[in-house]
Structure 1
Amino acid sequence: MAFSIIRRATTLGLTALAVAGLVFVPSVAQAAEAVEARSAVIRPVRQCAGLPKDFQIPGAPTHITATAVVPATATDPEHCDVQGFVEPAVKFRLKLPTSSYTGRYLQSGCGGLCGAIPDLLFPDNCLPRNGEFAIAATDDGHEGKGTFPFLDGAWAANNQAARDDWSFRAPHVVSLASKRIIATYYGAPPRHSYFSGCSNGGREALLLAQRYPDDFDGIIAGAPGAYISALMVYQAWLARANTAPDGSSILTPDKLATLHNAVIAACDNLDGLLDGQLDDPRRCKYDPILLRCPANTDQPDCLTPAQVETTRKLYAGPTDEAGRLLYPGYQPYGSELAWNGWVTPIPGTGSIAGLLADNTLKYLAYPIGTPHSSLADFRFTSAEFHKLTAEGYKANSLNLDLSAFRRAGGKLVIWHGWADMAIPPHGTLDYYDRLVQRSGGLARTQQWARLFMVPSLYHCAEGGKLGEFDPLRETVAWVEWGQAPQKVIATGRDEQGNVLRTRPVFPYPLQAKYDGSGSIDDAADFVAVPPQSPPKDQISWVGTYQYAIPGPRA
């Protein structure tokens, strides 16, 4: 905490002097050079095998179960691989570079219902050189079973400790454990700590900024599932809307390309550029009835009446008995190709939305000892929605008061794909707009928290015309040299990895506009412009009261 105060005072002092014209303000290139200069390698002071097996950390007793030095590869530096757990059962993995560590720690979030430690990859090209981080991740306190462990919820049926670990405790206690081990191995704690997560990991990222403001200097929240209890209602809606009375899928994968192509043909030019993507899907008002098949026919290039009705429901979002939204969002236009597997079933398995909703409603969404529900039985009513709040507030990351994180000098980067089929982008816009209001307006909020909306991107950089987006480099520059991110480049590649398109993504609500010359696939040929009209991002929905419910702390 003392270091945060010193860093904050230094940054504010330089800013004040710069405004007064008394100091030189560095360029972006000079800032990069300064960040590189600060990247001096820190050598270990302990042997990997000599790390203590036990650490008595208040609130986070930690035990190392295995250590091993892993040789360097073409992509990874040589590192000390540490495996362990925080009591009672929060497993983690920590990788400590042996000869290229620069004082930076990066912790990754976990997707879905977690249940396994994510693959730990060292950041690629984050800094000019010598930018290796110590990196860590956790299984969030339980082991998922089955083909898709991140969809398994049975572990939560009668285990409140495991629920709490997943809901809010695990990322925090792993940060405490990792920093203690880092301090022991290198002789000092990390100079700067970062957290990056998407989906459930994005929820964890916001949760850390809200409830544990001193854990990380820079936090990246991608496609955050902040409204986690309501999000399970949304997943149930996606699955149920696409299920016929006989249990079959109404909308089938072979119709998705036809639907998507019709949407793009109708709405592509609304942003002034024919490029096969929608820069803001909210402008699109396409009605799938225009694709309705002739009476009593079913062809690949049209939709049956039942398919038209299902598609309309997906674009509209879940509502209660009075027609009020049960989630602040709905399937965005342009996301249709990504519905395959998420909305339409995986053969022999079911849809991801349905499996996620069913496991959560059966095992996790309601307090232990109270009646639960299921995908088949859930009622889309306000009364049933409110029953989810008692347990859901523990995992929701909806608190709008991030003043402690801001005062500690923290920097928050939120990003979301406009074509996200799993977590609607509208909810993130709704949260950020409320955060801006709570924090004194856009200009003041952007001093420490910025939002980036990526056109055509699916869930967590899983596809679309622009399928690659990572603001880690920009976040590091913001934290360590005060260079707020003015843009982040999104990239689209083919199956062989060749770059097909790059685009700048500017801090919301700025948009990228083609400058009229050069290639529409080159980020260099776009400039930032304000929206045509002020966006209206807040959404009235049944769970609005949840923004005022503070979550628990570990």
Structure 2
Amino acid sequence: MGMGLRTPKSHRYGHLFLVVLVLVLTTVELGTPRASADTARPVRPVVDCVDLVRDFAIPGTRAHVTEAAVVPSGGGEAEHCSVRGYVEPEVRFHLKLPTTTYTGRYFQYGCGGFCGVLSSPAMPDCGPRVGDLAVAATDDGHVGQGPVPTVDARWAADDQAARDDLAFRAPHVVSLAAKRLIARYYGKPPARSYFGGCSNGGREALLLAQRYPHDFDGILAGAPANYQAPLMLYQAWLARVNTAPDGGPVLTADKLPALHRAVLARCDHLDGLSDGQLDDPRRCDFDPAALRCPDGTDQPSCLTGAQVGTVRALYAGPTDEHGRRLYPAGQEPGSELAWSGWVTPSPQSGESMAALLADNYLRYLGYPLGTPHSSLAEVRFTAQEFHRLTHEGVRGGAMALDLSAFRRAGGKLILWHGWGDQVIPPGGTLDYYQRLTLRDGGLRATQRWARLFMVPSVQHCTGGDTLSAFDPLRALLAWVERGDAPDRIIATGQNADGAARTRPVHPYPLRTRYDGSGSVDDATNFVPVSPAAPPQDTVDWIGTYLHHQPGPTAP
């Protein structure tokens, strides 16, 4: 589950859950947190890069630097001190410290899927006024195996410590270690600290705001997998609902282009502009029966009766044996092209990514150690099974609504989600955000410190058939450091002819409307509009009580 920031790409679906970390230290070496960042003069190192190779204590544990070497500029990155090490027991991290262009800011990436891969953290381009940020990434305490390491969960079969590292501990302790190293290398701690991620990284981002509210000044949470255990049951349902009695898929990838075209033909104009994207898919009333094949035929341009039923189910989402929702959302109209390989099997492996992810979770990670586990083939979509997954799910979930400590500390939060997300239905984020605003005193009060952006077309963290990228990092820095609350962030992509497209995305629930003149691919020709009525985004589903379950707060 992915991220709008430019992180190194390993596997397209390694995004599946992404980004989180931590800021303030209470040691003398780190000094006072939340000072002003120096945007003019770079901060120079006070020790040699190699001098960072050492062991040192951080609250509750120890960190070990095993490698530190200067890397010359190249590949779009400035010269930096590359630091590798681990926090006990085995939470690996990679930290990059610019040698001449650092101006006092630290950014930590979350990781995708079940993590298990230590990616090289990219240095984001924040413009000359900001310069280069110190950046870090972690594997969350284990090494994944197999063709897609980020969905491997075998490491969790009998290791509670490793489970806890993934669930909540790793981003926090890596932030402590990274800031300790920053203070040693530059002679002072970072003036500002930021965390960003998508999917699992978005879960980590919300988790940090909820459980470690003083770690970061600003947090980006993209397509958050914060409803963790329910989301894994949803992935199992995606795989099973598309499985025929003979074990083959009901819906196949060759049907998706025609299905998507039919959805656009029905609903593209509803936002006032026929431009190849749905600005709010919830307004779409497409019935897949309109695409039903004539009796006795089966062509890529139409759907069989069984396929019509499966598509209807995918849009509706799963329910338990009593008809109660097991997840607060289903697939959105307009996301159909992204179902290929996620809902429908990959031609290469013969499996869907939803099936692979869910089976690993249910076999190795989803239930307490020493209790019976399940599998994709065995799991039942019942209230009992939902509640059996709650114990471990709460440990890694980030559904809590009390972010008051983060708000009081001056923290700023940007949530965002693509309307075309095939992995994590955007309706879950809308459900969470409205619950957050209701608890926090209303939308106006919440938007002083937390804003949500819903991005048309964008699939899981990145990609899309029109808009395909959304990067809110610069907006977050401006909000934290200058008090400029973001009233629009530009999404980018291409139109159907391959020409560049830019569109403004305004804080939800504002929508974007064409002003009637100029190119529809130019963001300057759009204005914000308010919805006709206040949104009603909370959903009555079986897991509502999880918003009030506290998670662990161990270091």
Q: Same fold (TM over 0.5)?
A: yes
Report the alpha carbon displacement of residue 352 of structure 1 after superposing the two structures with TM.
0.6
| Residue 89 (str. 1) matches residue 87 (str. 2) | no
Report the alpha carbon displacement of residue 7 of structure 1 after superposing the two structures with TM.
9.0
Partner of 2:83, secondary structure, is: strand
Distance (Å, rounded) in 2 between the aligned partners of 1:153 and 1:373? 13
Q: Residue 459 of structure 1 aligns with which residue?
A: 460
Report if aligned partners of 2:193, 2:218 keep a CA contact under 8 Å in 1.
yes
Q: Residue 149 of structure 1 aligns with which residue?
A: 149
Q: Residue 441 of structure 1 aligns with which residue?
A: 442
Q: Residue 366 of structure 1 aligns with which residue?
A: 367
Q: Residue 432 of structure 1 aligns with which residue?
A: 433
Q: Residue 67 of structure 1 aligns with which residue?
A: 68
Partner of 2:467, secondary structure, is: coil
Distance (Å, rounded) in 1 between the aligned partners of 2:120 and 2:222? 17
Q: Residue 203 of structure 1 aligns with which residue?
A: 203
Pairs within 5 Å for 1:47-126:
47-124=48-125, 126=126
Distance (Å, rounded) in 1 between the aligned partners of 2:265 and 2:352? 28
Give, as a single letter, the amino acid of the residue that structure 1 aligns with 2:137.
A
Paired residues in the alignment total 527
Report the alpha carbon displacement of residue 2 of structure 1 after superposing the two structures with TM.
10
Distance (Å, rounded) in 1 between the aligned partners of 2:139 and 2:32? 34
Give, as a single letter, the amino acid of the residue that structure 2 aligns with 1:229.
A
| Residue 341 (str. 1) matches residue 329 (str. 2) | no
Partner of 1:61, secondary structure, is: strand
Report the alpha carbon displacement of residue 346 of structure 1 after superposing the two structures with TM.
1.0
Deviates more, 1:87-96 or 1:487-496: 487-496
Q: Residue 397 of structure 2 aligns with which residue?
A: 396
Report the alpha carbon displacement of residue 120 of structure 1 after superposing the two structures with TM.
1.3
Give the direction of change, closer, same or farther, for the CA distance of 1:551–1:499 in structure 2 (3 Å limit): farther
Q: Percent identity over the alignment?
A: 63
Report the alpha carbon displacement of residue 118 of structure 1 after superposing the two structures with TM.
2.7
Report if aligned partners of 1:5, 1:408 keep a CA contact under 8 Å in 2.
no
Report the alpha carbon displacement of residue 461 of structure 1 after superposing the two structures with TM.
1.5
Q: Residue 473 of structure 1 aligns with which residue?
A: 474
Give the direction of change, closer, same or farther, for the CA distance of 1:141–1:2 in structure 2 (3 Å limit): closer
Distance (Å, rounded) in 1 between the aligned partners of 2:410 and 2:129? 25
Report the alpha carbon displacement of residue 6 of structure 1 after superposing the two structures with TM.
9.4
Q: Residue 327 of structure 1 aligns with which residue?
A: 327
Listed one character per residue, the Cα deviations across residues 455-497 of structure 1 (whole Å, up to 9, x for unaligned) are 111000122311010100000000011111111000004899x
Give the direction of change, closer, same or farther, for the CA distance of 1:305–1:389 in structure 2 (3 Å limit): same
Q: Residue 257 of structure 2 aligns with which residue?
A: 257
Give the direction of change, closer, same or farther, for the CA distance of 1:297–1:197 in structure 2 (3 Å limit): same
Q: Residue 23 of structure 1 aligns with which residue?
A: none
Q: Residue 416 of structure 2 aligns with which residue?
A: 415
- RMSD (Å) for aligned C-alpha atoms: 2.0
Give the direction of change, closer, same or farther, for the CA distance of 1:132–1:343 in structure 2 (3 Å limit): same
Give, as a single letter, the amino acid of the residue that structure 2 aligns with 1:211.
R
Report the alpha carbon displacement of residue 127 of structure 1 after superposing the two structures with TM.
2.8
Partner of 1:416, secondary structure, is: strand
Q: Residue 19 of structure 2 aligns with which residue?
A: none
Structure 1, unpaired ranges of 5+: 11-33
Partner of 1:164, secondary structure, is: helix
Q: Residue 533 of structure 1 aligns with which residue?
A: 533
Distance (Å, rounded) in 2 between the aligned partners of 1:90 and 1:6? 26
Partner of 1:468, secondary structure, is: strand
Q: Residue 26 of structure 1 aligns with which residue?
A: none
| Residue 233 (str. 1) matches residue 233 (str. 2) | yes
Give, as a single letter, the amino acid of the residue that structure 2 aligns with 1:160.
Q
Deviates more, 1:43-52 or 1:411-420: 43-52
Q: Residue 216 of structure 1 aligns with which residue?
A: 216
Give the direction of change, closer, same or farther, for the CA distance of 1:385–1:551 in structure 2 (3 Å limit): same
Give, as a single letter, the amino acid of the residue that structure 2 aligns with 1:177.
A
Distance (Å, rounded) in 2 between the aligned partners of 1:131 and 1:440? 37
Distance (Å, rounded) in 2 between the aligned partners of 1:86 and 1:5? 21
Deviates more, 1:103-112 or 1:340-349: 340-349
Distance (Å, rounded) in 1 between the aligned partners of 2:496 and 2:123? 22
Distance (Å, rounded) in 2 between the aligned partners of 1:273 and 1:495? 14
Partner of 1:122, secondary structure, is: coil
Partner of 2:535, secondary structure, is: coil
Report if aligned partners of 1:41, 1:130 keep a CA contact under 8 Å in 2.
no
Listed one character per residue, the Cα deviations across residues 143-171 of structure 1 (whole Å, up to 9, x for unaligned) are 00011001101000000000000000000
Structure 2, unpaired ranges of 5+: 1-23
Q: Residue 311 of structure 2 aligns with which residue?
A: 311
Report if aligned partners of 1:113, 1:151 keep a CA contact under 8 Å in 2.
yes
Distance (Å, rounded) in 2 between the aligned partners of 1:244 and 1:348? 20
Distance (Å, rounded) in 2 between the aligned partners of 1:56 and 1:291? 63
Distance (Å, rounded) in 1 between the aligned partners of 2:490 and 2:198? 18
Q: Residue 300 of structure 1 aligns with which residue?
A: 300
Report the alpha carbon displacement of residue 314 of structure 1 after superposing the two structures with TM.
0.6
Distance (Å, rounded) in 1 between the aligned partners of 2:323 and 2:122? 45
Report the alpha carbon displacement of residue 38 of structure 1 after superposing the two structures with TM.
2.2
Give the direction of change, closer, same or farther, for the CA distance of 1:447–1:499 in structure 2 (3 Å limit): farther
Deviates more, 1:140-149 or 1:241-250: 241-250
Deviates more, 1:379-388 or 1:51-60: 51-60
Report if aligned partners of 2:33, 2:191 keep a CA contact under 8 Å in 1.
no
Pairs within 5 Å for 1:4-19:
none
Partner of 1:363, secondary structure, is: helix
Give, as a single letter, the amino acid of the residue that structure 1 aligns with 2:368.
P
| Residue 542 (str. 1) matches residue 542 (str. 2) | yes
Report the alpha carbon displacement of residue 499 of structure 1 after superposing the two structures with TM.
5.6
Distance (Å, rounded) in 1 between the aligned partners of 2:201 and 2:119? 11
Distance (Å, rounded) in 1 between the aligned partners of 2:293 and 2:369? 48
Q: Residue 7 of structure 2 aligns with which residue?
A: none
Report the alpha carbon displacement of residue 531 of structure 1 after superposing the two structures with TM.
1.0
Pairs within 5 Å for 1:343-358:
343-349=343-349, 350-358=351-359
Deviates more, 1:291-300 or 1:424-433: 291-300
Report if aligned partners of 2:366, 2:393 keep a CA contact under 8 Å in 1.
yes
Distance (Å, rounded) in 2 between the aligned partners of 1:534 and 1:5? 45
Distance (Å, rounded) in 2 between the aligned partners of 1:247 and 1:115? 30
